[in-house]
Amino acid sequence: MNVIRKIIFLTTLCGVVSGLCAQNISISTTKTSLVLSAPVGEELKYIYYGSKLSEADFRAINSAEKGNLSAYPVYGLNCPSETALAVQHSDGSMALQLEVVNVETSRQKDADLTIISLKDKVYPFYVKVCYKAYQDVDIIETWTELSHQEKKNVTLNQFASAYLPIRRGNVWLSHLYGAWANEGRLLQEPLEPGMKVIKNRDGVRNSHTAHAEVMFSLDGQPVENSGRVIGAALCYSGNYKLRIDTDDSEYHHFYAGINEDNSTYHLKPGEVFRTPELALTYSDEGLSGSSRNFHRWARLHKLANGTKLRKILLNSWEGVYFKINETGMSQMMSDIASLGGELFVMDDGWFGDKYPRRTDRSSLGDWVVDKEKLPSGIGGLIDEAKKQGINFGIWIEPEMVNTTSELYEKHPDWVIRAPGYELVAGRGGTQVVLDLSNPKVQDFIFGIVDNLMTKHPEIDYIKWDANMPIMNHGSGYLGKGEQSHLYIAYHRGFESICKRIRSKYPDLTIQACAQGGGRANYGVLPYFDEFWVSDNTDALQRVYMQWGTSYFFPAIAMASHISATPNHQTFRTIPLKFRIDVAMSGRLGMEIQPKDMTGEEKELCRKAIAEYKEIRPVVQLGDIYRLVSPYDKLGVASLMYTSPEKDKAVFYWWKTEHFRNQHLPRVKMAGLNPQGNYRIRELNRIDNQPLIFEGQIFSGAYLMANGLEIPYDHLVDRNKKSDYSSRILYLLEVSVSDVNK
């Protein structure tokens, strides 16, 4: 037992035995520490969160830092400030005053679990404040478990997962905002007096307009690879609310949890209400350092099959939209196989019997093959995929139904609707949401996947879509007194379905597509292998969206596809080289009709796919270093990935605007071994001659101090010139003997 563990043990023992001694507890990862004061019979207090404390500093904090702020503020006594928890007891009282009952610690696989049990001083109302400190990544998850033994229900009016005070100073907030087809936009702003609220009320999807993840830069305006940063990510698939209250104290007060708006919860005696986890990380290596922590945690603990390399695929959507037929699907499979791809995904439009799916106005819920379109069925397509040497995937939207469908005719009571009111429909004017609080609906949705996989176990990939929010409030399953539970019950049902699917089909690849990037969230990703960043495949706009998304999510989870030009969303004309170079910074795929491409374009894609396979382990499993942000408006964006061993790296450079006689910054690299030596190789080269540094060897120290001079334009024939330019460089560490040759 090391010294800090002895201190924790002794202070815990002292508190339990006498209730008089101060009981400070340290919750630590490899490089971070969270310190709380938890004396039995008194309030749980926050003391410290930051870089890992030495044994001497922990002892000093025990005597010098008393902890003036509650670690989980509650409403009712001394309550002018914001709180994490507010309840109404069964007798109408709204007061709470929590005291520490005990502290338990245990070792789980790869993590230490600390549970601090609290009890109200008057009522039999209980709160467990839980912390899970990973020992292989610098992440601490925290959540609460609420219960009571009162005679009647207790009303939960506010129920945040966690609270964290952040010392005032020159603190900046980095967070994401956007809209459909413009997701993951980065906004950075100083924290000023007043209240900052980031929230979602969609009901189904939660990351189109904002994200439940933030970063706090503690040393002024955010910097990518230096400076102290606290990152936070709420792991919840439903409505959330993040609050940052900068009051007249010395702190910014950060609260994160389920959005309580229209979600008052009536907690039964003996029932346990578990709030979603808030993941916290701290880094003194800037924003990118915090991102690297989130990415490692995601791959190892929070993303389905997070260490398994993703396949290169062709999706049929932008190639044919609803015009699916057997001949067309076979042709697309043959094309992606010839380009070196590994997977074909048939998108929307393959199903419906009484109501064949021709548009988005019918058929959702009727998950049977349209035999007119696909006479040989799914089995025939799988046979064709096998013949081509690739895998097969399929699109579904199981949470939704069209009012023009056999399912709706049979089960109109299965949809979310306000009794007595006309249905408000979404996409196509006929789409509504199934009530996932209903166990029968949960069984039906599980059955959609289970039936597909039972009949066709060779299916390798499912694209799971969700194209509308909850637009009607009302559940035919929940009781009259539980209608305010709808949003929470929906996502409990969603999670239950996902758990059943993952338990039976752990190796099935599932993409979270929610009208694009609506489900980029760590409440979803334990059950999904990746998400669709956006329905917008425009490469230039993707630079911005994927940049923002990378703050919290690793490349292995970010589906990024080469699409047609003019782009189907922005109608912008972008050269294929640039489109490829952007797509290769995430999980590479194609969203295009290959038969419309020229032979030269196909050859460029074939070469890119082969080279992506070479760099795929570095991109999908490596460490990110963002170098020049497109949001800084310097005319260029640049980032790189390095392998954990730092023996390989991939450098990306995209020109984001074009002017004559412009001056772009020379980009310094990062994340390399300063003592190592790296040979440079350009990927996807279209220039008539290699870059001047092609094949040259540079030290990591030189590249990180100076970078390389990237030409602003491509040296190509005049008829191939454009205003776009991009580069991908592959860096391989070489031996000393290679350097001396």
Mean pLDDT of 734-740: 79
Q: Which of 141, 121, 157, 145 is nearest to 40 (CA)?
A: 121
Please list the residues that pair with 437 across neighbouring strands. Answer: none
Say if residue 10's pLDDT is above 70. no
pLDDT at 741: 66
Say if residue 17's pLDDT is above 60. no
Say if residue 308's pLDDT is above 50. yes
Say if residue 9's pLDDT is above 90. no
Going across the sheet that includes 45-51, the strands are: 24-28, 32-37, 45-51, 69-70
Model confidence at 6, in pLDDT bands (50, 70, 90)? very low
Model confidence at 739, in pLDDT bands (50, 70, 90)? confident
pLDDT at 20: 36
pLDDT at 213: 98
Q: Is the pTM above the cut of 0.85? A: yes
Give the total residue count for the chain. Answer: 741
Mean pLDDT of 650-676: 97
pLDDT at 67: 80
Q: How far apart (Å, rounded) are the C-alpha atoms in residues 714 and 726?
A: 8
pLDDT at 3: 37
Burial of 419 by CB count in 10 Å (0-12 exposed, 13-18 middle, 19+ buried)? exposed
Lowest model confidence (mean pLDDT) among 15-19, 132-136, 437-441: 15-19
- pLDDT per residue over 534-590, tens digit each? 999 999 999 999 999 999 999 999 999 999 999 999 999 999 999 999 999 999 999
Q: How far apart (Å, rounded) are the C-alpha atoms in residues 494 and 489?
A: 9
Model confidence at 736, in pLDDT bands (50, 70, 90)? confident
Q: How far apart (Å, rounded) are the C-alpha atoms in residues 468 and 221?
A: 37
Burial of 622 by CB count in 10 Å (0-12 exposed, 13-18 middle, 19+ buried)? buried
pLDDT at 534: 98
Mean pLDDT (the chain, rounded): 95
pLDDT at 13: 38
